[in-house]
A = this chain, B = another copy of it.
């Protein structure tokens, strides 16, 4: 699904080098969406901390990675598909949904040239909401 091959091409295309560290980070990111720095790091212990930061910066810059801010520290995920996040304030679970009101019905006259957007929904997931009453 990911096509890390494709990503490698994108890296090279921008004049950057494809290194084992960068591929390791990409593989770590492919394992799970919206991971924290620690989570990513634990998946590729071989990659130094500094390189980790620089790689995530670089991948974000070329649009391969998306940096998120969901309340707790920064999180990162592959920017493969467009989606948004639902954060359960009860159990902390983070899930995704594709429905996008921005793409569906464009906003009115904002007088602003939109290139991207992010939408996060906070509340209670089905499990937590259900456990309380239903």
A69-B69, A101-B102, A102-B101 known; A115+B123 contact, CB < 8 A: yes
Query: Which residues of chain A from 93 to 134 have any CB-CB distance to chain B below 8 Å in the complex?
Result: 95, 97, 99, 101-102, 104-105, 107-108, 110-126, 129
Closest B residue, CB atoms, query A67: B71
Q: How far is the CB of A110 from chain B (nearest CB, A)?
A: 6
Residues in chain B near residue A125, CB distance under 8 A: 112-113
Task: A10 to B108: give the CA distance in the assembly, Å.
Answer: 35
Let me know if B114 and A123 touch, CB within 8 A.
Answer: yes
A89 within 8 A of B: yes
A102-B101, A107-B99 known; A112+B116 contact, CB < 8 A: no
A64 within 8 A of B: no
Let me know if A86 and B110 touch, CB within 8 A.
Answer: yes
Let me know if A101 and B110 touch, CB within 8 A.
Answer: no
Let me know if A129 and B113 touch, CB within 8 A.
Answer: yes
Q: Identify A110's interface contact among B69, B97, B115, CB under 8 A.
A: B97
A69-B69, A117-B120, A118-B119 known; A108+B99 contact, CB < 8 A: yes
Task: A101 to B69: give the CA distance in the assembly, Å.
Answer: 21
Given contacts A86-B114, A97-B110, A117-B119, 8 further A-B contacts (CB under 8 A): A69-B69, A99-B107, A99-B108, A99-B110, A101-B101, A101-B105, A112-B125, A115-B123
